[in-house]
Amino acid sequence: MKLVYLDNAASTKISARVVEKMMESYSENYGNPSSTHKLGQKARAAVEKTRNVIAGYLGAEGKEIIFTSGGAEGNNLVIRGALNAYDYKGKHIITSKIEHSSVLKTCQQLEREGYEVTYIDVDENGVVNLEQLKNSIRKDTVIVSIMYANNETGVKQPIKEIGKILKNTGIMFHTDAVQSMCKEVIFPKDLNINALTVASHKFYGPKGVGFVYLDKNFLIEKEIWGGSQERNRRAGTENLQGILGLGTAMEEAYENMDKIEAMEEEIHEYLERRLKNEIEDIKINGEKSPRLKTITNLCLKGCDIQTLLIALDLRGICVSGGSACMSGAHEDSHVLKEMGLDSEELKSSFRISIGKDTTIEEIDYFIDNLKEIAKIERGI
């Protein structure tokens, strides 16, 4: 059976170059980076070299990069870590209603612990309300966390404008950049971003590894206690092979960024053009906003998405109903709900996410099958 993978926003296929780098390290560089002998020093050197390479791509310093296990840990580390480090400032947090669950559920838990959270609305196009955000800032606000681009719709948030609002306030500005990293160049300092979260498996690196960029002028208290790794900000033996895979994936992405971006834009435009021209009663959620050229969130009116996803899967096509992290929850998308979709539209929307290996032929196969399945579902 033909296999067409259109769920790259959930996870990407690890690249051959990354696998080669990691396998080489498993057999030749297996020391503990905290050990003082030669193998330990060799491992430490590899970790620090990778840290500095990553920092270079962000226009940052090596000491501003903290290796983690991925996006969920990174978001928890920054949000909780900032609140603990600046507990004397207050207990107020600002975030948006469309954040990833690792931010929203963390904030909900913090509310149970006595913190106060302001959740910013989005408009029908999925963009946060800047005026509401500005008016929500208080003397006791410690951190503002707004994602760079949404994982379900691809809609980009006005990060530069938020950075300007928060500049010189002393409030930490954190952005979850898990979906955006390596799809465009991001210089946190130019955008007044103080903390940024990244996960390797979103750009052809290994799962279980990521990093946090933390501006050297800001503090966090570690969430995992034990050793003094990562400049005493995250305890635990470093995932050497994962870190090397992450660094290699970033190198490969930055070396080929212009080429990949052009190809993905071409595929993206072809996909959406065929969808709009050939299938009736559809809507692309967030279409009027600036979006990542890798994500299309499609409302296929009159179709039950759970049935449709199964039918596509039986034909070898992998797509997603929304965030993979919440796929077992059987809940309507909170992102689309906040954008104003009604109950029927919520049950008729799903995500298509292309990658660097997606071809025109695969898009044709997907759309041809989608048209057939939609006709069956609609009883046409």
The answer for residues whose C-beta is within 8 angstroms of residue 36's C-beta and 6 or more apart is: none
195-199 and 172-176 beta bridge pairing: parallel
Question: What digits encode the pLDDT tens for the residues 67-116?
Answer: 999 999 999 999 999 999 999 999 999 999 999 999 999 999 999 999 99
pTM of the model: 0.95
Distance (Å, rounded) from C-alpha 71 to C-alpha 140?
26
**Distance (Å, whole) CA 150 – CA 376:** 31
Which domains does the chain carry? 4-12+257-378 (3.90.1150.10), 16-255 (3.40.640.10)
- Give, in degrees to the nearest 5, the angle at Cα 205 between 203 and 209: 110
Query: Using an 8 Å Cβ cutoff, are 233 and 223 in contact?
Result: no
Mind listing the pLDDT tens digit for each residue in 228-252? 999 999 999 999 999 999 999 999 9
Residue of 107, 182, 299, 325 with catalytic role: 325
- In the block, tokens 């067409």 appear at 4
Is 325 labeled as catalytic in the residue annotation? yes
- Name the β-bridge partners of 96: 120
Which residue has 């995932």 as its token pair?
239
pLDDT tens, residue by residue, 287-345? 999 999 999 999 999 999 999 999 999 999 999 986 655 455 568 999 999 999 999 99
Alpha helix (H) residue ranges in the chain? 16-28, 38-58, 71-85, 101-112, 130-136, 159-166, 229-232, 240-255, 257-278, 305-314, 334-338, 343-346, 360-378
- Start-to-end C-alpha separation, the chain: 27
